[in-house]
Structure 1
């Protein structure tokens, strides 16, 4: 497989994952994704921002989140995010530190 085809397939897979998370499974909470998989929608938007910045494209965290979420993050959070339990929040602190490398 040539590099261009591989890049196009990877991009298509990313778009399908984004669509799944943003359109079909808005019920899945970021905190649960982080606790189970070590990444969430915010991580995906951060990786998008980092890729843009690495290519000399100025992009803020908020701009990347709006691109990924399809709306301002605060709006998405208000529509779809639910309160996490104390137990879930504690697990998140551990997962965040292990996967992102800093304390929440």
Structure 2
């Protein structure tokens, strides 16, 4: 679509919102299937990780008057309580990963 969101009819806007929601669910499914993609790798490559998605989810909920705490947002993104996911899947960051992270986040 070449129209801006403000030019869309209500039905078209709902369709765009439905598509965006489906893409978000697909992203979460993809991340769930790629537990080998560690958060530090995502941060180093793309500048965001699962925790960032959780914070964005929480902020967008709050902007719409919906109270979602960080733990609930992380459970939505991780598909289970964060502590459980971390225990099962999170690996210790290597020195190389940490150095790359520090280099990419210098101000």
Structure 1 residue 68, shift from structure 2 partner = 1.5
Q: Does 1:48 align with 2:57?
A: yes
Among 28, 31, 37, which residue is 1:21 paired with?
A: 31
Asked if residue 82 in structure 1 is aligned to residue 91 in structure 2, the reply is yes
Deviations 1:47-94 (A, max 9, x none): 111011111111111111012212110110111111111221122234
Identify the residue that residue 34 of structure 1 maps to in structure 2. Answer: 43
Q: CA deviation at 1:95?
A: 3.8
Q: TM-score, normalised by structure 2?
A: 0.82
Unaligned 5+ segments in structure 2 are 2-11
Distance change >3 Å, CA 29–CA 49, structure 1 → 2: same
RMSD: 1.6
Runs of 4+ displaced beyond 3 Å: 93-98
Among 6, 15, 18, the alignment partner of 1:5 is 15
Return the index of the structure with the highest Cα Rg.
2
Structure 1 length-normalised TM: 0.84
Greater RCO structure (CA 8 Å; 6+ sep) = 1
